[in-house]
Amino acid sequence: MRKRRFSSSGLFPLLITLAFLAGFFLPDLTSGGLRRALYAAQTVPQRVSLALQMEQDSQQNYLWPVGLFWDALSQLRNQYYQPINEKQLTYAAIRGMLAALHDPYTRFMDPNEYRSMQEDTRGNFFGIGAQLQEKEGQIVIYRPIEGSPADKAGVKSGDVIVEVDRKPVAGMRVDDVVKKIRGPRGTKVELTLRRKGTPNLLHITIVRDLITSPVAYAFMEDEKLGIGRIRLEQFNEKCDQLLVQKVRELEGKGLQALILDLRYNPGGLLNVAVDVASRFIDNGVVVLIQEKNGQITRLYTERGRAIKPYPLVVLVNEWSASASEIVAGAVRDNKRGIIIGETTFGKGLVQTIFQLQDNSAVAITTAKYLTPSGYDLNRKVDADGNEIRRGGIQPDIVVKQSEEMTDIEDREHDLQLKKAVEYLREKLTAPKVASAP
């Protein structure tokens, strides 16, 4: 009897607890088990906020990409014959959704892709030092960085990569080719290249190293007349400071006229473009930023930073993009100099990167650049990839580059550079004429 009382008084509170829990979890147990119950408990706050957001949205009639995706994925989950990976399906759906915008710069990066992009912007990566670009389905060397392993091994701008380590790359995306080429310092990678004018394929083995870009280079093209040239490789944070340093260097050699060489410069940071433009234009508008709502923000040069107003030529080609086009456009619209070369790439879009919940990210084109005169320099293609608008900056003097040019510093054949020097020579030697009244 005593024993029984003891046991029951211990047992019953336990039973009551169990009864409470049973009641609490009843809905889950009846509709899918304890795992789901735990899941439900974990994600309640997140779900509530999402529910509220989406509820608000649904009243505005915007939600149907989300709804359709949800419907389709639910049906796949319930009915599809083969096992599915919902995460990969979601990534595929996101990429498909963004592709429908026909904006090549708005793109999704899965966690791996995002990580390697971050490495790029920080500059801590090991590779061969060549920028790649997809052009008409081919992977093309955009520009080997001066002094980099690729440059030392003789890789040239415009070389088409056929194989990496003897594996064909045709049909691959640029990002995937970059992944194959990068690797630990000191390891080797073999590229098979096709070069214009070279009948056989080239096989080049390159040792990977830490890549840093020197950014600015100075040359004196005509010592007698003092025609100097500064080539900028890209617009990163060091760019402006190095530019000034190179100008001082050339001034020491008697600089009278300047060529700003932006060929093969793919761009970079917007604020750096403004800084660089401020070195040439004392007082003016560098670029117009057209926001989503159509609102236009003028970015002005920073006053008091300009170098002496030397006669100026900006050299550009079809690989001059983004920040390069901003500077070229600013120089022209402010009538500060003339543009020589070929029509530029035509990328007048600003991207912003948004990190997502699972460490993936999305880069979205958030604004447009217009040159100070309001020219939209963006190249446009239709759904099939056909060009519907060329865009880019058209040079004042168009000079097609010689087919024989083997390297960006092959001055022997550099028709564009020759034209620039010739133009400045005339300008410097022409008798000064008083302007007409």
Partner 1 sequence: MDVRAPRRILPWIVLALIAFGAGWWLRKEMAALPVANANPGARLSSLQEYSPKQGYTVALAPGDNASPVSMDLMQLFYSVFKYVEKQHADYTPQQAKPMAYGAVRAMLQSLNDPNTRFLEPQEARLLQEASKGTYYGIGAAMTVVRKVTQDVERRELTVIAPLPGSPAEKAGLQPGDVITEIDGKWVIAYDPFRQVQRAGLRGNELVKAMEDARKRVLAGLDLRKSLNALTNKDQGPMTLTVRRGNSTVKVKVTPGTLNVEPVTYRLMPGNVGYLRIAQFNIQTPDGVKRALAGLGNNLRGVVIDLRNNPGGHVEPATQVASMLVRSPSLGLMEVRNGETKRRQPVHISGTPRVKSPMVVLVNGGTANVAEVLAVLLRDKGGAKLVGERTFGDALVQTFVPLPDGSAMTLTTGKFLTLAGGDFHGKGVYPTVAAPTVPKQGHDVALEKAMNLLSQRTTTPRA
x/- string (CB under 8 A) for partner 1, residues 366-385?
xxx-----------------
CB of 347 closer than 8 Å to CB of 340: no
CA distance 200 to 182: 25
CA distance 121 to 106: 18
CA distance 279 to 263: 19
Minimum Å gap between C-beta 362 and partner 1 is 5
Angle at 244 between CA 242 and CA 248, to 5 degrees: 115
Q: Which listed range, 32-40, 180-188, 313-321, 390-398, lies at the site for partner 1 (CB under 8 A)?
A: 32-40
Element counts in the chain: helices (H) and strands (E): 11, 21
- Is 322 catalytic? The answer is yes
* Number of chain residues interacting with partner 1 (CB under 8 A): 104
Q: Which listed range, 127-135, 181-189, 194-202, 324-332, lies at the site for partner 1 (CB under 8 A)?
A: 194-202
Which one of residues 34, 67, 196, 389 is an interface residue with partner 1 (CB under 8 A)?
67
In the set 278, 333, 414, 419, the catalytic residue is 333
Which one of residues 43, 212, 245, 373 is an interface residue with partner 1 (CB under 8 A)?
43
Residue 144: DSSP 8-state = E
Q: Is 283 left (phi over 0), alpha (psi -120 to 50) or beta?
A: beta
In the set 347, 360, 414, 419, the catalytic residue is 347
Strand, coil or helix: what is 306? coil
Which one of residues 117, 285, 307, 350 is an interface residue with partner 1 (CB under 8 A)?
350
Which one of residues 265, 290, 320, 322 is an interface residue with partner 1 (CB under 8 A)?
290
413's CB contacts (< 8 A; 6+ apart) are 402, 404, 405, 406
Q: Which listed range, 30-38, 226-234, 243-251, 421-429, lies at the site for partner 1 (CB under 8 A)?
A: 30-38
Question: Looking at beta carbons only, is 147 or 168 nearer to partner 1?
Answer: 168
The answer to whether 28 contacts partner 1 (rule: CB under 8 A) is: yes
Q: Which listed range, 41-49, 243-251, 308-316, 390-398, lies at the site for partner 1 (CB under 8 A)?
A: 41-49
CA distance 135 to 138: 5
39's CB contacts (< 8 A; 6+ apart) are none
Site for partner 1 in 229-288 (CB under 8 A): none
The answer to whether 86 contacts partner 1 (rule: CB under 8 A) is: yes
Measuring CA to CA, how many Å separate 312 from each of 258, 260, 265, 279, 421?
A: 5, 7, 18, 12, 10
Site for partner 1 in 158-177 (CB under 8 A): 162, 167-168, 170-171
Q: Which listed range, 7-15, 149-157, 301-309, 417-425, lies at the site for partner 1 (CB under 8 A)?
A: 7-15
CA distance 133 to 142: 6
Measuring CA to CA, how many Å separate 322 from each of 233, 299, 424?
A: 13, 15, 26
Residue 82: DSSP 8-state = S
For residue 368 the two structure tokens come to: 């447009």
Minimum Å gap between C-beta 292 and partner 1 is 5
Total residue length of the chain: 437
Which one of residues 112, 254, 354, 409 is an interface residue with partner 1 (CB under 8 A)?
354
Which one of residues 6, 7, 34, 84 is an interface residue with partner 1 (CB under 8 A)?
84
The answer to whether 6 contacts partner 1 (rule: CB under 8 A) is: no
Minimum Å gap between C-beta 350 and partner 1 is 8
Minimum Å gap between C-beta 360 and partner 1 is 7
- Is 275 catalytic? The answer is no
CA distance 341 to 140: 20
The answer to whether 307 contacts partner 1 (rule: CB under 8 A) is: no
For residue 291 the two structure tokens come to: 């926001």
CB of 157 closer than 8 Å to CB of 408: yes
The answer to whether 291 contacts partner 1 (rule: CB under 8 A) is: yes
Amino acid at the residue 318: E
The answer to whether 88 contacts partner 1 (rule: CB under 8 A) is: yes
Amino acid at the residue 92: A
Q: Which listed range, 45-53, 238-246, 305-313, 333-341, lies at the site for partner 1 (CB under 8 A)?
A: 45-53
The answer to whether 429 contacts partner 1 (rule: CB under 8 A) is: no
The answer to whether 365 contacts partner 1 (rule: CB under 8 A) is: yes
Which residues are identified as catalytic?
322, 333, 347
